[in-house]
C-alpha cells in the first residue's frame, strides 16, 4: 500500500522536495493556504490551510492518515510539523522543545552562549548592557532579513526595536553585537549524531543588507573554518540529541575568527539544494526527505566538481516584471527560474523576487570573482511607459 507524506509547504522552493517524495514512491498531500502555489499543481491532494497552524496541520494529517510529515522551506513549517509529529508519534523530526531552541533566535543564542559556541553576544529585550556597539537588532523569529537594522548609536535603539518587533510573529526582538566578515553556509546531514555528508557555500547580500541574493558552490573557504564548523555542529548535535537529517547553518568568517549566526533543521529556500546538487552531484532533496520517510540517506557518489553560482533577482525599488537578461561572458549551462508573470509588480527586497539564475563558471577563480557581482550583470528591460 502506498504511504502518504504530508508536505508542509506549497511554494516553489518546496518543488524539489515534492519531486523527491514522488521518486521515493510516496503519495504527497500538500498543505499551504495559497491555492495558486506550484506544489498544489502536482500534489495528489491539497489542503488549503495555514501550515504554520499546528491545529490545522494536525487535522489535515489525521484526515489523510499521513504516515510522514515533511517540513518545507521555512521555520514555521518545521515548528508546526514537529508539534504534529509529537502528537501523532511520527518519527524523523526533533521534539517541539528542541525545534524551538534551534529556530527561535533568542533561545538559540542563549543555548549557544551557554555551551561556549562562537556566536555573537546577544540579549533579548531593550537593554544592551554588556554589549558594545555597533548592534544588530532583529526579530527573534523572522527570516530573509526582515526587520533587521544595524545601529551605531544606542540612541537609535528604540526605533530599531520597534521595527524588529513589528516583523516578529511573537513581537519579540534580539540585540546582538555586530560582527564583520564573509558569510557562508554549511549543510551537514546527520546520522546518529555524526556528519554523514556535508557541503559549504559562500553567500552574499548585495541588494538588501541581510537577505542573501548571491551564492556559489564550492566555497572558497580554507580548511580551518570548515573543520571548526564540523566540530561545532557535531557538538551541537550531541548537546541537543538532534534527530537524523539536515542541520543547515549560516556563519561568518573574518580570516581568523568565526561567528555562528543561525541554524535550521528545515530545507533552505530559493532552490539552494539545486545549486548544491548541480555542483556536487548529490541529490540534496533526497537526502533531506530521508529521515522523514524512514529511509537511509543515499550514499555519496564521486562526481566531478562543478562551479555553480545562484542569483535571486531582487531590486532595491519596485519594478515591473518583464524581459530579464544576465550578461556573464564565459559562463554556460544558464538556467532561469521565473517567479513572477510578465507585468507583475515586484516589491523591493527582501519582500519581492523576480526569479533565479543558475550558471556554471569555467573555474573557481572566475566563480569567486563574479558570484558576488551577479546583480551588476542583470538587466531588466521594461517597455516605455511600464516603469513604475
In DSSP notation, 338-353 reads E-S-TT-EEPPTTT--
Does residue 149 lie in a domain region? Answer: yes
Quick check: 388 pLDDT over 70? no
Quick check: 384 pLDDT over 60? no
Alpha carbon distance 186, 367 (integer Å):
18
pLDDT mean over 332-337? 93
Residue 46 β-bridge partners? 30
Residues 204 and 323 in one domain: yes
Quick check: 234 pLDDT over 70? yes
- The model's pTM is 0.94
- Higher-scoring residue by pLDDT: 4, 173: 4
- Higher-scoring residue by pLDDT: 161, 300: 161
State what percent of residues in the chain have pLDDT above 90: 79
Residues 169 and 186 in one domain: no
Contacts of 26 (CB under 8 A, 6+ apart): 2, 3, 4, 5, 68, 293
- Higher-scoring residue by pLDDT: 82, 332: 82
Does residue 53 lie in a domain region? Answer: yes
How many residues appear in the chain? 388
Does residue 371 lie in a domain region? Answer: yes
Residues 75 and 204 in one domain: no
Quick check: 387 pLDDT over 60? no
Please tell me the total count of domains within the chain: 3
Residues 149 and 290 in one domain: no
Does residue 12 lie in a domain region? Answer: yes
Q: Which of 99, 74, 77 is nearest to 6 (CA)?
A: 77
Count helices and strands (H / E) in the chain: 11, 20
DSSP state of 153: S
Convert 283-300 into a string of H (helix), E (strand) and C (coil).
CHHHHHHCCCCCCCCCCC
Residue 47 β-bridge partners? 31
Residues 275 and 194 in one domain: yes
DSSP state of 229: H
In this structure, the number of other CB atoms found within 10 A of the CB of residue 114 comes to 9
Of the listed ranges 105-109, 145-149, 160-164, 370-374, the least confidently predicted one is 145-149
Quick check: 386 pLDDT over 60? no
Does residue 105 lie in a domain region? Answer: no
Q: What are the tens digits of pLDDT across the range 311-330?
A: 999 999 999 998 898 999 88
Confidence at residue 291, expressed as pLDDT on a 0 to 100 scale: 98
Alpha carbon distance 200, 204 (integer Å):
14
Residues 212 and 339 in one domain: yes
Cα end-to-end span (Å), the chain: 54
Q: Are 32 and 40 in contact (CB under 8 A)?
A: yes
Residues 40 and 67 in one domain: yes
Residues 206 and 325 in one domain: yes
Residues 82 and 168 in one domain: no
Which runs of E-coded beta strand occur in 82-172? 122-124, 135-139, 149-151
Q: Which of 65, 59, 13 is nearest to 44 (CA)?
A: 65
Name the residue range of residue 27's domain: 4-94
Does residue 300 lie in a domain region? Answer: yes
Does residue 115 lie in a domain region? Answer: no
Q: What is the CATH number of the domain that holds 216?
A: 3.30.470.20
Q: Are 39 and 14 in contact (CB under 8 A)?
A: yes
Does residue 104 lie in a domain region? Answer: no
DSSP state of 215: E
Confidence at residue 287, expressed as pLDDT on a 0 to 100 scale: 98
Q: What is the CATH number of the domain that holds 51?
A: 3.40.50.20
Confidence at residue 142, expressed as pLDDT on a 0 to 100 scale: 66
DSSP state of 113: H
Instruction: Please report which confidence band the pLDDT of residue 195 belongs to, taking 50, 70 and 90 as the band edges.
Output: very high
Q: What are the tens digits of pLDDT across the range 102-142?
A: 999 889 999 999 999 999 988 887 888 888 899 999 888 76
Q: Which domain-ending residue is among 177, 193, 216?
A: 177
Alpha carbon distance 157, 319 (integer Å):
32
Alpha carbon distance 210, 167 (integer Å):
14
Alpha carbon distance 285, 291 (integer Å):
11
Pairing of strands 4-8, 27-31: parallel
Residues 129 and 32 in one domain: no
State what percent of residues in the chain have pLDDT above 70: 98
Q: What are the tens digits of pLDDT across the range 59-118?
A: 999 999 999 999 999 999 999 999 999 999 999 999 999 999 999 988 999 999 999 999
Averaged pLDDT of the chain: 94
Residues 247 and 359 in one domain: yes
pLDDT mean over 227-251? 98
Q: What is the CATH number of the domain that holds 141?
A: 3.30.1490.20
In this structure, the number of other CB atoms found within 10 A of the CB of residue 340 comes to 18
Residues 208 and 335 in one domain: yes
- Ramachandran bin of 288, using left for φ above 0, alpha for ψ from -120 to 50, beta for the remaining angles: alpha
Cα 246 to its chain centre, rounded Å, is 11
Amino acid at each position: 500500500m502506498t504511504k502518504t507524506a504530508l508536505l508542509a509547504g506549497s511554494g516553489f522552493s518546496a518543488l524539489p522536495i515534492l519531486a523527491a517524495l514522488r521518486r521515493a514512491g510516496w503519495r504527497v498531500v500538500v498543505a499551504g493556504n495559497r491555492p495558486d502555489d506550484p506544489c498544489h499543481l502536482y500534489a495528489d491532494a491539497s489542503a488549503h490551510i495555514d501550515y504554520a497552524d499546528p491545529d490545522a496541520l494536525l487535522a489535515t494529517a489525521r484526515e489523510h492518515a499521513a504516515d510522514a510529515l515533511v517540513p518545507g522551506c521555512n521555520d514555521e513549517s518545521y515548528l508546526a510539523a514537529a508539534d504534529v509529529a509529537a502528537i501523532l508519534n511520527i518519527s524523523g523530526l526533533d521534539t517541539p522543545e528542541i525545534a524551538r531552541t534551534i529556530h527561535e533566535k533568542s533561545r538559540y543564542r542563549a543555548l549557544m552562549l551557554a555551551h561556549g559556541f562562537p556566536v555573537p553576544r546577544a540579549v533579548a529585550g531593550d537593554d544592551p548592557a554588556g554589549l558594545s556597539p555597533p548592534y544588530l537588532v532583529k526579530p527573534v523569529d523572522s527570516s530573509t532579513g526582515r526587520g533587521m537594522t544595524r545601529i551605531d548609536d544606542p540612541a537609535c535603539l528604540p526605533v530599531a526595536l520597534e521595527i524588529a518587533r513589528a516583523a516578529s510573529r511573537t513581537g519579540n526582538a534580539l540585540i546582538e553585537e555586530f560582527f564583520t566578515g564573509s558569510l557562508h553556509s554549511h549543510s551537514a546531514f546527520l546520522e546518529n549524531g555524526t556528519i554523514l555528508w556535508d557541503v559549504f557555500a559562500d553567500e552574499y547580500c548585495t541588494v538588501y543588507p541581510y537577505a542573501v541574493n548571491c551564492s556559489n558552490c564550492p566555497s572558497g573557504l580554507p580548511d580551518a573554518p570548515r573543520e571548526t564548523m564540523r566540530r561545532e555542529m557535531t557538538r551541537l548535535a550531541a548537546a541537543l540529541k538532534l534527530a537524523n537529517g539536515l542541520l543547515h547553518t549560516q556563519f561568518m568568517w573574518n580570516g581568523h575568527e568565526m561567528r555562528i549566526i543561525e541554524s535550521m533543521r528545515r530545507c533552505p529556500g530559493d532552490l539552494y539544494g539545486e545549486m548544491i546538487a548541480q555542483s556536487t552531484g548529490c541529490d540534496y532533496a533526497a537526502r533531506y526527505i530521508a529521515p522523514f520517510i524512514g529511509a537511509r540517506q543515499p550514499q555519496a557518489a564521486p562526481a566531478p566538481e562543478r562551479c555553480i553560482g545562484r542569483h535571486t533577482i531582487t531590486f532595491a525599488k519596485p519594478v515591473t516584471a518583464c524581459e530579464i537578461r544576465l550578461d556573464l561572458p564565459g559562463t554556460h549551462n544558464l538556467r532561469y527560474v521565473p517567479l513572477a508573470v510578465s507585468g507583475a509588480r515586484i516589491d523591493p527586497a527582501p519582500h519581492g523576487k523576480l526569479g533565479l539564475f543558475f550558471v556554471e563558471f569555467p573555474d573557481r577563480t572566475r566563480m569567486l570573482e563574479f558570484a558576488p557581482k551577479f546583480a551588476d550583470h542583470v538587466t531588466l528591460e521594461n517597455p516605455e511607459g511600464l516603469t513604475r
